Amino acid sequence: MNKAEVISDTQRFDVEAVRRDFPILQERVNGHPLVYLDNAATTQKPQVMIDAISHYYLHDNSNVHRGAHALAERATEKFEGARSTVAEFLNAPSRELILWTRGTTEGINLVANSWGRTQLQPGDRILVSAMEHHSNIVPWQMVAEATGAVVEAIPVDETGTLDIGAFEQMLDTRVKMVSVGHVSNALGTVNAVDDIIGLAHRAGAKVLIDGAQAIGHWNVDVQALDCDFYVFSAHKLFGPTGLGVLYGKRELLEAMPPYQGGGEMIESVSFEGTTYNQLPYKFEAGTPDIAGAIGLAAAIDYLKGIDREAAAAHERALLTYAVEKALATPGIRLVGTAANKVSVLSFLVEGTHPNDLGMLMDQQGVAVRTGHHCAQPIMDQYGIPGTVRASFSFYNTFEEVDRLFEALEKARKFFE
C-alpha cells in the first residue's frame, strides 16, 4: 500500500485544519520545520487550551472554595465545572468519583498507599504486566515491602502481547490487585483490558488501569470497562502538565483513608481529633492546580469538536504507512509488533545506538524519544538497552513520516 492509497482511506479527516489549532507545530528546530513525533511522552496543546489557562490568570485568578468574593466564585465554578467535564468524558457515574492528582504517577501511588496499605496482608499477590511503566511497578513494590505482599509480572511475548492464558493461570484467591496499562508506552500494545478486568473480578481481585497512553487516542468509558480505578495525566490528553485524574468506584474511595493531610481534605480540625471531608475532597489536600483543571476541561471541549473516529483512523493509517516504510528499510528491527497497537513505532537500527540516532535526527528537526522509556523490565526481556520511539497523534501527517525516514537515513550515513 503506497501513501496515496493510505491517504485515500483518511480523507474525511482534515489534518491541516487541525494542525492550525496547535501553534507549536509551526516551530522550526535547528533550521528545519518541527516534526513532533514524541506524543507518547506528551501531547502538544491546542490554542484554546492555552487561552483558557491564560484567561484564568488574567481575569479569574483566586483560590477556590469558601471565597466570599467574585474572583473566588468564578474560579470555583470553572474548577468544579472541569471536574464535571472529566466525569462526563469518562462516563463516570458521579463527579465526586473524579479526584485531581499531579499525574498518573501520583494516582497510582495514591491507590497503592491508601488502598494497598489497608487492604494488603502478608502473602497477598499484586499482578502487573511485564511491559509496565516504572510508575506502575515501583509503587506496588514499595507497598508490598511494607505489607508483606508480593508483586508478580504477567508474561508478555516477543511481539509485546500480554499472555492472557498465563494471566488466567496466575489468578487465585491471594491475588488482591491487578494493575495494568491500557496501552504500553514503550511498545504501543493495546492490552485486552476487558478480558483482564473480567477475569480478575471473577477471582475476587480489584483492577487499576493506567490509562496514560490510551486517553489521547480514544474515548474511555469507565462504567463499560467496570474497572475499579482508572488513572491518566492531563498532558497526555492535550492538556497541561502537572495535573492528573484518578477515577475510583465509590465504595472503594469511601473506605480508603486520606493519602495526604492538610487544608481542604478536612471538615473540622481540633487537637482532640480531625474529621475528614467527603469525596472527592478527602483526597485533595492543599491548593489544587486550578489553572490545570480549567485547561484540561478546555482540551476535552476541543476534542468534542473533532471526529475522534476519523482521527483514530488517521492515526492507524500513519502507523500502517510507517511500519511499511520500516519493513522496507534494511537494518531496522521493529520492537513491539502486537496485532492491536496504537500509533507507536519503536525500533532499533543495526550498528547504531538509539541515543545517537535521536540526537542526529533532532539536528534535522525530527523529535523522537530514545532509551528504555521507563520500561526497563521489558527491555531486559528483549535483551536491548532501549529503542527509538516515534509516536504519532492525529495532527501528524504522512509527509512527517517521510521526514522521519529521510532523517533516519541521513543519521545512518553518519555511522558508515
Active site residue 374: yes
Which residues lie closer than 8 Å to 62 by C-beta, 6 or more apart?
A: 69, 71, 72, 74, 75
- Residue with cell string 509480572: 153
Three cell numbers, residue 251: 465504595
How far apart are the C-alpha atoms of 314 and 393, rounded to whole Å?
Answer: 9
Amino acid identity, position 174: R
Nearest to 325 by CA among 408, 415, 411, 410: 408
Phi and psi torsions of 180, nearest 5°: -135, 155
Catalytic residue among 374, 381, 405, 406: 374
How far apart are the C-alpha atoms of 154 and 157, rounded to whole Å?
Answer: 10
For residue 386, give the 3-state DSSP assignment.
coil
How far apart are the C-alpha atoms of 19 and 373, rounded to whole Å?
Answer: 27
| Triad 19, 21, 22: Cα angle to 5° | 70
Three cell numbers, residue 3: 501513501
Burial code of 242-269, b = ≥16 C-beta within 10 A, e = fewer? ebbbbbbbeebbeebebbeeeebbbeee
Catalytic positions: 374
